[in-house]
Amino acid sequence: MSEASFQLTKLLPLFLYPLGFSITLSLLALVLLWRGKRSSALAILGIAVVTLWVCSTPRFSNWIAGTLEQQFPPLPVASMPKADAIVLLGGMTRGVVPGTGVADLSGSVDRLLHAAALYKAGKAPILLLTGGNAPGFEPEAVSMKKILLDLGIPDEAMVLEEASRNTWQNAEYSADILHMHAANTILLVTSAYHMRRASFEFARLGFRIVPAATDYQLVETPATLLDWLPDASALAGSTRAIREYMGMFVGFVFRA
């Protein structure tokens, strides 16, 4: 896949996420208003506002995150079974801090810590790090390895897949590496909301998946009136969950 094609696959869904969808509807409403179709314009604008409001509320964000995470409850490391390999999916670095050469970590850093804990607990002999980057930038697998070395994971225990840019590629490009190490049963480490899609991609290639979910978005908090008011972080959470459902739909339609 060329860089232009990859960027196109990232761009098109933006118009289906809550913010992009609402902006698109608002622009359509302006066009209809300019053409004198006031009632239609107001109706479409109302849909845009309601969509954005609902998706921006913590109540909705928590609900939709829960629909993804409830299948994968948190489990203590000690209770996890042993496997042939631990597979850690990228998605927890935002890029390199200018002038430092050090990767900046996102909120999904729990994945990194969880994989390290599983290895230290002796759950698998190898740790496969999968994640690439745009041309000219350090692959995420390399960034993850640097951090894991600091956390005490031995160099010889880590195997890198440095070309993948999405979940489908994570699975496809990791498959040959796993087969080389005779790894059929894998502890799959990713965020709980992402686990269903990631498990599907690896399972369709014949691997036995043991979900090792982490980075839970749904947490217990007191219910307040603020749960029904717009919040930027809630909108981000809703968008993340909707993106997962879109990814699952595409995966099922084109790769099932």
Q: CATH number of the domain at 153, please.
A: 3.40.50.620
Q: Nearest 5°: phi and psi at 190?
A: -160, 180
User: Are 201 and 242 members of one domain?
Assistant: no
Asked if residue 157 is part of any domain, the answer here is: yes
| Number of separate domains in the chain | 2
User: Are 210 and 232 members of one domain?
Assistant: no
What pTM did the predictor assign?
0.89
User: Are 238 and 166 members of one domain?
Assistant: no
pLDDT of residue 14: 77
Quote the CA–CA distance of 218 and 237 in Å, as a whole number.
10
Asked if residue 4 is part of any domain, the answer here is: no
Domain enclosing residue 204, as ranges = 77-214
Please provide the distance, in angstroms rounded to a whole number, between the alpha carbons at the two ends of the chain.
Answer: 20
Using CB atoms within 10 Å of the CB of residue 223, give its burial: 0 to 12 exposed, 13 to 18 middle, 19+ buried: exposed
CB crowding 67-94: b at 16 or more within 10 Å, else e = ebbeebeeeeeeebeebbbbbbbbbbbe
Quote the CA–CA distance of 79 and 30 in Å, as a whole number.
57
Asked if residue 105 is part of any domain, the answer here is: yes
User: Are 202 and 236 members of one domain?
Assistant: no
**What is the pLDDT tens value at each position of the chain, 256 positions in all?**
455 555 556 666 778 899 999 999 999 999 999 999 999 999 999 999 999 999 999 999 999 999 999 999 999 999 999 999 999 999 888 777 887 777 788 888 999 999 999 999 999 999 999 999 888 888 999 999 999 999 999 999 999 999 998 999 999 999 999 999 999 999 999 999 999 999 999 999 999 999 999 999 988 888 888 899 999 999 999 999 999 998 888 877 776 5
Asked if residue 219 is part of any domain, the answer here is: no
User: Are 83 and 44 members of one domain?
Assistant: no
Rounded to 5°, angle at Cα 70 from 64 and 72:
130
Asked if residue 46 is part of any domain, the answer here is: yes
User: Are 198 and 105 members of one domain?
Assistant: yes
Is the backbone of residue 95 left (phi > 0), alpha (psi -120 to 50) or beta? Answer: left
C-beta separation of 65 from 218 below 8 A: yes
User: Are 152 and 233 members of one domain?
Assistant: no
User: Are 103 and 203 members of one domain?
Assistant: yes
User: Are 232 and 201 members of one domain?
Assistant: no
Asked if residue 1 is part of any domain, the answer here is: no
User: Are 155 and 235 members of one domain?
Assistant: no
pLDDT of residue 9: 60
User: Are 93 and 170 members of one domain?
Assistant: yes
User: Are 96 and 209 members of one domain?
Assistant: yes
Quote the CA–CA distance of 205 and 208 in Å, as a whole number.
9
Residue written as token pair 């179709």: 37
pLDDT in tens, 64-116: 999 999 999 999 999 999 999 999 999 888 777 887 777 788 888 999 999 99
pLDDT of residue 5: 52
